[in-house]
Amino acid sequence: MQSYVLDSFGSGTTGLLLAERPEPTPKPNEVVLRVRARSLNFRDLRILEGLYPVHANRGVAALSDGAGEVMAVGSAVTRVSIGDRIVVAYFPRWVDGRFSLSMAGEQFGCTRDGMLAPLVAVPEAAAVRIPDNLSFEEAATLPCAGVTAWAALHGPRPLAAGESVLTLGTGGVALATLKFAKALGATVIAATSSAAKAERLRALGADVVVDYRDRSDWSQAVRQATGGRGVDHVVETGALGTLMQSVAALATEGELALVAALDPGQIEARTLFANATSLRRIYVGSRAHLEAAVQLVGSAGIRPVIDRVFGFSEARDAYSYAEKRQQFGKIVIVGD
């Protein structure tokens, strides 16, 4: 079978090699997944650039996120059956409970074969059934972006109905956060960089939209929108350059979930500790988080936002498109 594997790092999409690979056979506790759709995440770009903090293994199939059908099961498998529609948890060894760095050592599309292949063997412990109302394309957006959004909103003090949430940008995590927060009864303030994106955010349910390029102290616009109080939760998907404004937008005893620190910036201790706030670093989430996110998506009728769908033969084009970081929602690759 033809699969896209990580062949070299730091050379752009030329490092993604289309290679002939044998079809997998499941071990006793594995299932073979026929991948119908997969989605790109920023981490996949970092892996190809050789900039991801976990060392990637040359020769593994790329991408962490995929959805499809179970085609074969190992002799000891009990959780899923042939024909089940599933997605697979980002960290196959993190089922529930607290995260440990040792769990980060095993990741699809990094240290073991990922989803940019027609068939992939995955541990049954990582499998989660998907609801009938979700397409494979929609389900494939959940293991990283959807789970990250869920985990960001469900920390030591989970989001409660009537509270407020600030999102940044229009990437997969930000839009999943918006949809989850609205389904849970929260008020959502979205920060973006253009009038066109602002209109689309309002159409998705954002109660207030602020332009963070229009004024350097955009946190004040957020505070004004909350009557001066500030927001209860911030899901920071921007960078260190936006972190201090995000902190300044928090209410007393608010919580900031730091998803990424992509670009350079300075952290001001005075701002950081000026309020009784909590900062929490997010490392995607567990299988239990994925199960909870999938349950909410199914029960609330949430439709993940997909920006563009590419065919399997266009995988390198999908990477190039993602590198522009201009998408509104998720980038999906279908077929084999």
User: Cα-Cα-Cα-Cα dihedral of 82, 84, 85, 87, to 10°?
Assistant: -80
213 pLDDT band, cuts 50/70/90, is confident
Burial 237-246 (b: 16+ CB within 10 A, else e): bbebebbbbb
- By the 10 Å C-beta count (0-12 exposed, 13-18 middle, 19+ buried), 266 is classed as exposed
Q: For residues 50-68, give the mean pLDDT.
A: 96
Distance CA 9, CA 93 (A): 26
Say which CATH topology domain 148-281 has.
Answer: Rossmann fold (3.40.50)
Say which CATH topology domain 2-141+304-334 has.
Answer: Quinone Oxidoreductase; Chain A, domain 1 (3.90.180)
Please give the C-alpha separations between residue 26 and each of 68, 73, 153, 307, in angstroms, as whole numbers: 16, 6, 35, 34
278 pLDDT band, cuts 50/70/90, is confident
Q: For residues 305-326, give the mean pLDDT.
A: 96
209 pLDDT band, cuts 50/70/90, is very high
Least confident of 102-111, 139-148, 222-231, 273-282: 273-282
Question: What end-to-end distance do the CA atoms of the chain give, in Å?
Answer: 9
216 pLDDT band, cuts 50/70/90, is confident
Distance CA 59, CA 52 (A): 16
3-state helix, strand, coil in the chain (%, to 5): 30, 25, 40
238 pLDDT band, cuts 50/70/90, is confident
Residues 6+ apart with CB under 8 A from 227: none
Instruction: Please check whether the two domains, 2-141+304-334 and 148-281, share a CATH topology.
Output: no
Distance CA 179, CA 188 (A): 9
- pLDDT score recorded for residue 89: 98
- φ, ψ dihedrals at 261, nearest 5°: -130, 75
Q: Which two tokens stand for residue 100?
A: 């440990």
Please name the residue that has the structure tokens 């599933």. 86
Write out pLDDT tens, residues 155-180: 889 999 999 999 999 999 999 999 99
Q: Which two tokens stand for residue 14?
A: 């030329």
Say whether pLDDT at 143 is over 60: yes
Q: For residues 227-251, give the mean pLDDT.
A: 90
- φ, ψ dihedrals at 51, nearest 5°: -115, 5
Domain coordinates of the chain in residue numbers?
A: 2-141+304-334, 148-281
Distance CA 296, CA 232 (A): 21
Angle formed by the axes of helices 218-225 and 240-248, nearest 10°:
30
